[in-house]
Chains A and B, each alone.
Chain A
């Protein structure tokens, strides 16, 4: 990676997910590549969920943050290959999610959660107990499921594994 590309990645790390303040889209693995192509910055963006209402806002933020750093011509390409998966979420993002009270994706596919709600084994982000259960496969956003901790009796959200 040359210096120019390094700089572009650093700028992209300033673009936050609109629903998860403090977590950048780079940490969430939403960017596949960024490069300078004949004076235009091209950003390869991987949509997370088809129906995520934040997709357009994220693309607009990418353009405006790059513009604020002097890159006048920006093109955001929505690409589907490689498909986005929760495996792309970085460790630093997982820690931040836990601090926000959201359990990070832990590899269990959602169908397993629904079929075996008692055996969820998703740790509570507050008390870390494994005595948790999945209440609904759908939470406040498309990417999250609703959980309840039987130990500390608090509800929390789980970032669903997608791969």
Chain B
């Protein structure tokens, strides 16, 4: 197997692994600060699920490096410009509405992505995805219920949700941009292209937002930021400074 193909496999998996890792970190920031106790606990559990998925995917991706890297190496020893997550995951939790809307967008996206991997011929990825799907479906349910409560809630909660929709608009098209690896693995393992996920995603999101009395507009890729350039938002360095602090301060530490 050529070295380039191995690296392509790693990058392909990392796009989802890093998204789950960074999303998990952002969700964990609510721990201790949730609006109500049940949500503090729920969001912490969602974060755990994201980290669990990231862990299995990072482990798999690490095997395609020579010498092989562990999930810890990848999570704690890369710099921001070596991450492949979608930009949306990095955006801060401005308020609960932003956190919930981001959950709606990303949990539906990840569900569609895992669904396509589960039925692909890439065995290890299919196995991890099947397991992830049993957990992600609760994320989707949780997000949809909260979007409904907040959108069809008070004037303030509706207004905050609407603001989140506006703020996230430039980052939505990024989820569906095909990178080179998408095309390679579509051919090799019949994994759906990122661009093939957009119609199911839009339908689910639009249905949910309109029942929640919120208005949604189609993402316009002409006015969007995209992770395909390899550049991240300024937020990622701050996230990593927090997340990687311990391993960077004490290299080689073990419990």
Chain A contact residues, CB within 8 Å of chain B: 47, 49-53, 55, 80-81, 83, 110-111, 114, 135-142, 146, 162
B123 CB, min distance to chain A CBs, angstroms: 9
CB-CB < 8 A to B45: which residues of A? 51, 138, 141-142
Contact of A50 among B38, B42, B56, B145 (CB under 8 A): B56
- Complex CA gap A16/B134 in Å reads 25
Contact of B50 among A51, A111, A136 (CB under 8 A): A51
Name 10 extra pairs, CB < 8 A, besides A50-B55, A83-B131, A111-B141: A49-B49, A50-B53, A50-B131, A51-B52, A55-B52, A80-B128, A83-B134, A138-B38, A142-B48, A142-B49
Q: Is the CB of B130 within 8 A of A111?
A: no
CB-CB < 8 A to A81: which residues of B? 127
Q: Give the residues from 48 to 75 in chain B that come closer than 8 angstroms, CB to CB, to chain A.
A: 48-53, 55-56
Q: Is the CB of A53 within 8 A of B48?
A: yes
Please name the residue on chain A nearest to B145 by beta carbon: A114
Contact of A83 among B38, B48, B49, B130 (CB under 8 A): B130
CB-CB < 8 A to A135: which residues of B? 38
Q: Is the CB of B138 within 8 A of A80?
A: no
Q: Is the CB of A138 within 8 A of B41?
A: yes
Q: Does B137 contact A (CB under 8 A)?
A: yes
CB-CB < 8 A to B53: which residues of A? 50-51
- Complex CA gap A85/B161 in Å reads 37
13 CB < 8 A contacts A-B: A49-B135, A50-B132, A55-B52, A80-B127, A80-B131, A83-B130, A83-B131, A83-B134, A111-B138, A138-B45, A139-B41, A142-B48, A142-B49
- Complex CA gap A142/B52 in Å reads 11
CB-CB < 8 A to B231: which residues of A? none
CB-CB < 8 A to B134: which residues of A? 83, 162
CB-CB < 8 A to B38: which residues of A? 135-136, 138, 146
A-B CB proximity, top 4 nearest: A51-B52, A50-B52, A51-B48, A80-B127
Q: Is the CB of B41 within 8 A of A140?
A: yes
Q: Does B213 contact A (CB under 8 A)?
A: no
Chain B binding surface, main DSSP class: helix
Known: A49-B135, A137-B138, A138-B41. A80 touches B51 (CB 8 A): no
Contact of B49 among A51, A80, A114, A140 (CB under 8 A): A51
The interface bits of chain B over 13-43 (1 if a CB of A lies within 8 angstroms of the residue's CB, else 0) are 0000000000000000000000000100110
A78 CB, min distance to chain B CBs, angstroms: 8
Q: Is the CB of A50 within 8 A of B141?
A: no
- Complex CA gap A58/B36 in Å reads 32
- Complex CA gap A49/B135 in Å reads 8
Q: Is the CB of A52 within 8 A of B42?
A: no
CB-CB < 8 A to A52: which residues of B? 48, 52
B98 CB, min distance to chain A CBs, angstroms: 20
Q: Does B160 contact A (CB under 8 A)?
A: no
B20 CB, min distance to chain A CBs, angstroms: 10
Q: Does B179 contact A (CB under 8 A)?
A: no
Please name the residue on chain A nearest to B142 by beta carbon: A137
- Complex CA gap A138/B42 in Å reads 5
- Complex CA gap A135/B39 in Å reads 12
Please name the residue on chain A nearest to B43 by beta carbon: A138
Known: A50-B49, A135-B38, A142-B45. A114 touches B56 (CB 8 A): no
Q: Is the CB of B138 within 8 A of A110?
A: yes
CB-CB < 8 A to B46: which residues of A? 138
Please name the residue on chain A nearest to B41 by beta carbon: A138
A155 CB, min distance to chain B CBs, angstroms: 12
